[in-house]
């Protein structure tokens, strides 16, 4: 079993988990799964890029909804041809009961969620989910990412709001994201905050502002510049 520091959760409308520590919901009040697909899957152009051995990394595991959406997408797009990797960094893992309650509203991931919930209940942070090899690294990403020995082809930057969780969006951590990105690797995030976009640009990404999901007018996405891996 792990010694995770479990997240403290309150509930909005009985179905949307809200972090008591950061006073921020874990996913969109409009439709969390649709937000994931628009922001992270489409934002990283994964329909065209996913292939055997592809590696996605994430800041902010939360309910695991992004992971589940990726697993379902790989089933559909990859048709079971090969395996992909998913690594997520999470400081305050949720209790399995809270995750299960949060996922009840997403029928599209209901079939693939039980093995994840079983593994999580057993304290496993490395497990298989269909054709997805999952690793969840607990603790402060500002420390753990620097010691990670892999590079991601795509990043989901999904920490809580930069205004409420600035530690997960600082220039030093964004530089670590760039340093742990493979050539031609990408990132996507729901936030278009100017200081986050500048930090990612300074770290070596070509940053774009794009149309956001739902109530969010804009989001950000980008690709590691050629100069960073020449």
Per-residue pLDDT of 54-70, as tens digits, reads 999 999 999 999 999 99
Architecture of domain 9-229: 3-Layer(aba) Sandwich (3.40)
Domain ranges of the chain: 9-229
Q: Sheet holding 9-12: strands in order across?
A: 9-12, 16-19, 24-25
Cross-strand pairs, 11: 17
By the 8 A CB rule, do 77 and 47 touch? yes
Task: Residue 50: count other Cβ atoms within 10 Å of its Cβ.
Answer: 21
Query: Does residue 161 sit in helix, strand or coil?
Result: coil
- Residue 79 is predicted with a pLDDT of 63
Query: Would the pLDDT of 156 be above 80?
Result: yes
Nearest Cα neighbor of 67 from 82, 161, 59, 174 is: 59
Mean pLDDT over 101-121 rounds to: 92
pTM: 0.92
pLDDT confidence bin for 227, thresholds 50/70/90: low
The predicted-structure confidence for 72-108, as pLDDT tens digits, reads as follows: 999 988 666 899 999 999 999 999 999 999 999 898 9
What are the tokens at 79? 């048709």
CB count, 10 Å around CB of 48?
8
Residue 197's pLDDT band (boundaries 50, 70, 90)?
very high
- Looking at residues 42-62, what average pLDDT do you find? 96
């Amino acid at each position: 079993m792990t010694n995770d520091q479990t997240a403290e959760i309150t509930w909005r409308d009985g179905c949307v988990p809200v972090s008591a520590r950061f006073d921020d919901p874990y996913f969109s009040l409009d439709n969390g799964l649709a937000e994931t697909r628009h922001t992270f899957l489409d934002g990283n152009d994964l329909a065209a890029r996913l292939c055997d051995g592809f590696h996605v990394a994430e800041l902010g595991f939360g309910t695991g909804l992004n992971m589940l959406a990726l697993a379902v997408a790989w089933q559909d797009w990859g048709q079971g041809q090969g395996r992909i990797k998913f690594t997520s960094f999470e400081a305050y893992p949720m209790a399995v009961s809270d995750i299960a309650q949060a996922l009840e509203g997403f029928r599209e991931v209901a079939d693939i969620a039980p093995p994840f919930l079983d593994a999580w209940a057993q304290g496993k942070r490395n497990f298989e989910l269909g054709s997805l090899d999952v690793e969840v690294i607990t603790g402060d990403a500002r420390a753990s990412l620097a010691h990670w020995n892999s590079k991601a082809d795509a990043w989901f930057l999904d920490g809580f709001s930069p205004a409420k969780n600035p530690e997960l969006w600082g220039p030093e951590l964004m530089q670590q994201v760039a340093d742990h990105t493979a050539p031609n690797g990408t990132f996507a995030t729901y936030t278009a905050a100017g200081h986050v976009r500048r930090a990612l640009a300074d770290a070596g990404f070509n940053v774009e502002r794009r149309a956001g999901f739902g109530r969010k007018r804009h989001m950000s996405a980008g690709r590691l510049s050629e100069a960073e891996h020449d």
